[in-house]
Structure 1
Amino acid sequence: VLNRYTYASTLSHLRRTNTPIGRDGKIAKPRQLHNTHWGLVCPAETPEGQACGLVKNLSLMCYVTVGTPGFPLIDFMRQRGMDLLEEYDPVINPRATKVFLNGTWVGVHRNAGHLADTLRSLRRKGLLSFEVTIIRDVRDREIRVFTDAGRVCRPLFVVDNRPESTNKGSLILDQTHLAKLAGDQDMLQNLEGVSEEE
């Protein structure tokens, strides 16, 4: 039953997560906060007693993605030089980077850094949904793009790191964003939702 005593208790109840193991167990590991929960799970809010650490709450700023279609991204990446998996010949380009969309290997790309930067800039401009997760794994030579529902993300401010920029090292945040925030409008265009892998 949804707790409606106060507005804060309602929000807390809606953000509750439950670990589905027995409450009477003495194992401490499931009750502890894992390092990957940083920014996603509140480290302090948990009940006392048998449910301590098994019932956790999402952080106030994190959210669960609702999902967006991923097929337009395949066409976009093909126009930007991605070879589909069926067309790829490993003899011609053995150092190509694998491209995954929602966990499915869809193709390979020769210039992974440029593709990842292009996708991130489109997300920052609002042309891609802010829920799209773009992960570039240099060591494994992979780009993983996620658009599916059910991922827990947290907001992240973007720092301008372009070498030619006069504002290098500064936040990409200005008075218009603050005015939108004060007006309770959507300012997620220049913020990014970041999953734990990104």
Structure 2
Amino acid sequence: MSLCSNVENLSPQIIRQVAKEIADLTSNPPEGIKIYPNDEDITDIQASIDGPAGTPYAGGFFRMKLVLGKNFPSEPPKGFFLTRIFHPNVASNGEICVNTLKKDWKAELGIKHILLTVKCLLIVPNPESALNEEAGKLLLEEYENYSLRAKLYTDIHAKPPKSTDGLHKSIGSMADGPMAKKHAGDKKVTDKKKKEKKKVLKRL
């Protein structure tokens, strides 16, 4: 695969540098960001970003990846959202358009800086460099409709996965199964709140 060849093309010094930064980010991640290291291919960096509060993406869980090319760090990595998102600066294939990954790239900028920049893009989109023209137009001319569409995408595509709150999810599923009688009380209340929340989300 081409991604594997990128590892072969990177110098040992660059590989060590990237590996160290990924290890640091894994043990001490920025707020609302989590790294998922790929031990088999260090040029494929996956992460998740929690939708920032006060935005149409709040409550969402957005998976993304950075792909380091063979000329990294002289050239910027490519960024993609793996989670579908309605955003001016994200193309239909998930490609992210942000100046840090284009004209403003500098070799000394690290992975952390890129991830924080993408998170900021969720807070402050840039309609002037829109890859999604419809989203960019709505953002400028009909913000309310843009916000509603972005929230809808968030509700449909960016639900937090079971792994982030597995215990709570498993308890919820037990309340619907044969173990329900053994898990009454507070769990029934929790399930009721979840169902009410789903009804509200469906109305959006």
TM-score normalized by the length of structure 2: 0.25
More helix by share: 2
Larger RCO, structure (CA 8 Å, separation 6 or more): 1
More strand by share: 1
